[in-house]
C-alpha cells in the first residue's frame, strides 16, 4: 500500500512527503481516516529517506532488498478523525543511528496544524543474516 503522493524533500537524515486522504486508505470510514494511519505515513516517509540513502551508494554496495522492522516507540495524536480529501504533510528526521538501528521522529501536519507526533524505532536486518554460513 502506497499512501504517499509526492516527495517534497529528501536527504541523508530527513524526508518530507505529501499525501491526500482517500476513501480507499486503510482505517477509513465515511467520516474520514483514523489518525492511526499517520503511523504508516511516518514509516513510509522514513522509508523514502532510507531508499535515498541506498541510492547514494555505489550499485555493488546497495542493500535495497533488505527490509526494516519498525516499532512505534511513541505516538501522540492531536486529531480524532482526518476528513477527505485532506492533504497531510509528513516530516521525518533521524534522531539516533547506531549501526542498523535508527530512531526516527516524525510529525504530520494539516496546513500549519500539527496533528501527530510519532517516534519510530527501526531495525534493518544485518546483511550477514541473508548469507548461508556454509558459503
Name which of 42, 67, 43, 41 is nearest 54 in CA terms. 67
Find where cell 540513502 sits. 53
List, in order of start, the domains of the chain with CATH numbers. 6-130 (3.10.129.10)
Question: For the whole model, what pTM was predicted?
Answer: 0.88
> Which residue has better confidence, 131 or 38?
38
Please give the C-alpha separations between residue 112 and each of 70, 93, 95, 107, 116, in angstroms, as whole numbers: 28, 18, 23, 11, 12
- Model pLDDT for residues 79-98, shown as the tens digit of each residue: 999 999 999 999 999 999 99
Element (H, E) at 104: strand 101-110
The whole-angstrom separation of Cα 101 and Cα 76 is: 22
Cross-strand pairs, 117: 76, 107
- Model pLDDT for residues 17-50, shown as the tens digit of each residue: 999 999 999 999 999 999 999 999 999 999 999 8
Cross-strand pairs, 127: none
Other C-beta atoms closer than 10 Å to the C-beta of 106 total 24
- Please check whether residue 86 is in contact with residue 34, taking contact to mean a CB–CB distance below 8 angstroms: no
pLDDT(15) > 70: yes
Amino acid at each position: 500500500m502506497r499512501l504517499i503522493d509526492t516527495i517534497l524533500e529528501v536527504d541523508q537524515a530527513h524526508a518530507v512527503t505529501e499525501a491526500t486522504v482517500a476513501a480507499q486508505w486503510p482505517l477509513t470510514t465515511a467520516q474520514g481516516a483514523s489518525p492511526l494511519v499517520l503511523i504508516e505515513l511516518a514509516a513510509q516517509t522514513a522509508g523514502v529517506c532510507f531508499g535515498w540513502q541506498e541510492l547514494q551508494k555505489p550499485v555493488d554496495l546497495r542493500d535495497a532488498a533488505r527490509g526494516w522492522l519498525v516499532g512505534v516507540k511513541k505516538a501522540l495524536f492531536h486529531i480524532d478523525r482526518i476528513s477527505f480529501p485532506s492533504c497531510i504533510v509528513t516530516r521525518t528526521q533521524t534522531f539516533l543511528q547506531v549501526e542498523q538501528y535508527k530512531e526516527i521522529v516524525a510529525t504530520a501536519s494539516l496546513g500549519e496544524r500539527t496533528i501527530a507526533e510519532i517516534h519510530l524505532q527501526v531495525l534493518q536486518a544485518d546483511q550477514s543474516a541473508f548469507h548461508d554460513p556454509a558459503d
